Amino acid sequence: MASSLTCTGVIWALLSFLCAATSCVGFFMPYWLWGSQLGKSVSFGTFRRCSYPVHDESRQMMVMVEECGRYASFQGIPSAEWRICTIVTGLGCGLLLLVALTALMGCCVSELISRTVGRVAGGIQFLGGLLIGAGCALYPLGWDSEEVRQTCGYISGQFDLGCLGVDRSTWQARNTAQQKHQGGMRKAHQETPETPEMREAGRRVSE
């Protein structure tokens, strides 16, 4: 099968796809930030979180649901910085994925990627990397949001984790196995007196 890439180009295409796939997985996984609430482990991404409080109408109590879900709406994301981070990082991942798929097609289609196209693709990749880096830089600005502070006794702040922790494996492939493990855990509920902040946090997250 004809190819428009040299051996070096094929290696570039494969590495581009690996980088794009890893970035997309890390972006989707809600394991960027770890904490605890009501004795349960809580983790956050940019637009998803695991373990969230919901209002139990029958008992008039707030209970923790150990499941992962996205926020019900874009405005439901806890802070403006995280909303910007979601857009910027998602756009960067999309650009990387677009270049990677085009490069893989170049491995099978002759004359698809010329020298000029390769330079443009490299520029797009550079832009995508900058966007992802900018999103990661914006993320700590949202650590002072109400939902994040709830998980650490209201002592966290911008660029100050308090008792929270950053999961460095978010950008690694092992997050996939971690998600499967957490999904297989037995779901538990714990009762606690509700607060307006907790009710609002639970309302903004959908299963």
Burial of residue 37 (number of CB atoms within 10 Å: 0-12, 13-18, 19+): buried
Burial of residue 190 (number of CB atoms within 10 Å: 0-12, 13-18, 19+): middle
The CA distance from 36 to 54, in Å, is 15
Q: Where are the domains of the chain?
A: 7-204
The set of residues, in sequence order, having a beta carbon less than 8 Å from that of 199 and lying 6+ positions away, is 53, 55, 62
Nearest to 90 by CA among 123, 59, 55, 46: 46
What confidence score (pLDDT) does residue 87 get?
97
Q: Walk along the chain (207 residues) and give the pLDDT tens digit of each residue.
A: 557 788 888 999 999 999 999 999 999 999 998 888 877 889 999 999 998 888 777 777 778 888 898 898 999 999 999 999 999 999 999 999 999 999 999 888 887 888 899 899 999 999 999 999 999 999 999 998 888 888 877 888 888 877 666 655 443 433 433 343 334 433 333 333 445 555 555 556 644
3-state secondary structure of 113: coil
What confidence score (pLDDT) does residue 202 get?
57
The CA distance from 128 to 70, in Å, is 24
The class (CATH top level) of 7-204 is mainly alpha
DSSP conformational letter for 154:
T
Nearest to 27 by CA among 74, 91, 111: 91
For CA atoms 13, 127, 28, 98, give the dihedral sign.
Answer: negative
